[in-house]
Amino acid sequence: MPFVRVDALGADRAKLDGLGRAVHEALIDAIGIPEDDLFQVLTSHDGTTGTFRYDPDYLGVHRDDGIVYVDITMRAGRTDDQKKALYAKIAELAGKYADTEPRNVFVTIHENQFSDWSFGNGIGQYLERNQ
């Protein structure tokens, strides 16, 4: 169910895959999603037709062009502690799998409902399961 968008600058395919893997394993570890609940769009921007703007020091965290934007949509219901654990694990694994420093990992979460997902075949699978 999580639907994840990752945006990076000048990343090759291996780096994109490493970032995707980091986010997915963190979701399994911190939030308890199933291992096969994997849906991600990973985009590298060239700095010209796709570019980032960011502050290099907001809230005392130093960032540079290694910054990675992680945008997660998942159903509502996770606790603050689960989200804290998620942020910590993404940052840890992004270093391990993609050489991205923790300071460069930006995450934002969008929450929605069981009714807001279709995983194929034109069916709202979570609606069938939870009614």
Short-list 46, 63, 42, CA closest to 9: 46
Residue 86 three-state SS: helix
Q: Site for a copy of itself (CB under 8 A): how many residues?
A: 72
Show the binding pattern over residues 2-41: x = contacts a copy of itself (CB under 8 A), - = does not.
Answer: -x---x----xx--xx--xx--x---------x-xxxxxx
Q: Considering only residues 34 through 93, tell me which ones interact with a copy of itself, judged by CB under 8 A.
A: 34, 36-55, 57-59, 61, 63, 69, 71, 73, 80, 83-84, 87-92
- Active-site option among 2, 34, 56, 102: 2
Task: Name residues whose C-beta falls within 8 Å of residue 68's C-beta, 6 or more positions apart in sequence.
Answer: 6, 7, 8, 19, 94, 98, 100, 104, 105, 106
Residues involved in catalysis: 2
